[in-house]
Copies of this chain bind each other. A is one copy, B any other.
Amino acid sequence: MGDVSRRDFLIGSGLFSAGLLLSKAFQIDLVTSAEAKMKTQKWPWPYEKLDPEKTAEIAYNEWYRVFCGAAVISSIFSQLAEKIGEPYASFPVDAFIIQEGGLAGWGTLCGSINGAAVVANCICGPRISGSEVGHIISTNLLDWYSNTDLPTYKPKNPKANKERIVQTMSGSPLCHISVGKWMKASGFALASPERKDRCARVAASVAYQLTMMLNAWKDGKFHEGVKWSPAGTFGITAQQNCGECHGSNIPEAPKMKK
């Protein structure tokens, strides 16, 4: 396989496919283990629609306390803890500070998406509970994040970038690539107030987008399918930006024997 553009990916993968192709290739043998002791998990969790803008504002401010992943979780769970109570009130939000910087600063998965996936799968339930909505919201947030000029949300009282802010499309949900492309385009260092404001705005943007999806689900209006499914298309878990790491030398994944 040569250099693969995003367009080729989308054509090849069946954009907006309703089924979870991924499941077929990667996730088989869903057997219940006798070792599973925790049977008290009930899905979905109770949900009341939230104001996306208020949620984004909370996420922006919480970033300066607990960073990206925990900020997104806190922005939604703190409001629901107030409106509904349990199980939100006792969820250990602050532990998810570890998701910052692509997990402890290693630049892997952007914490905002990592945290949003926790929220979607707690509220809508994991897909083994019978609904695929939490899974679809998560994978489509990965797609949206990769293909959107970020940040999209402008806070009421930004701590930096007050006149204007550079927006960049990462092509990837990885912190290193998302932050790195923004640093290159803006010229601001990692430790600068401008870069911090940018990441706080990204957390706010993800919280906004996630709230819109959860509200649509609550209204019975969430009808999205999985927008991009790497395993079914390429035979390996993957992002959409193969050529960016592999150049033109993209290895062929081993195939199942016929």
CA distance A87 to B91 in the complex (A): 9
Which of A28, A37, A105, A174 has the largest count of B CB atoms less than 10 A from its CB? Answer: A105
Contact A98 B82 (CB under 8 A): no
C-alpha gap A88/B117 in the complex (Å): 20
- Check B93–A134 contact: CB distance below 8 A: no
In the complex, A22 Cα to B128 Cα: how many Å? 37
Q: Does A99 contact B (CB under 8 A)?
A: yes
The answer, yes or no, to whether A53 is at the interface (CB within 8 Å) is no
A87 CB contacts on chain B under 8 angstroms: 90, 92
Chain A: interface residue count, which band? Answer: 35 or more
A125 at the interface (CB under 8 A from B): yes
Q: Are B102 and A237 in contact (CB under 8 A)?
A: yes
Which B residues lie within 8 Å of A64 (CB)?
29-31, 33
Identity of the chain B residue whose Cβ is nearest the Cβ of A177 in the assembled complex: B245
Chain A contact residues, CB within 8 Å of chain B: 22, 24-38, 40-41, 43, 57-58, 61-62, 64-67, 70, 74, 77-79, 81-82, 87-109, 113-114, 117-118, 120-122, 125-129, 134-135, 138-139, 142, 173-176, 179-180, 183-184, 186-192, 196, 229-231, 235-239, 244-245, 247, 251, 253-256
28 contacts between A and B (CB under 8 A): A24-B191, A26-B105, A27-B67, A27-B100, A35-B61, A35-B74, A35-B78, A36-B78, A37-B82, A38-B88, A40-B89, A87-B92, A91-B92, A94-B126, A95-B118, A101-B231, A102-B237, A103-B109, A104-B142, A105-B139, A105-B231, A108-B174, A176-B237, A176-B238, A180-B251, A183-B236, A191-B256, A247-B247
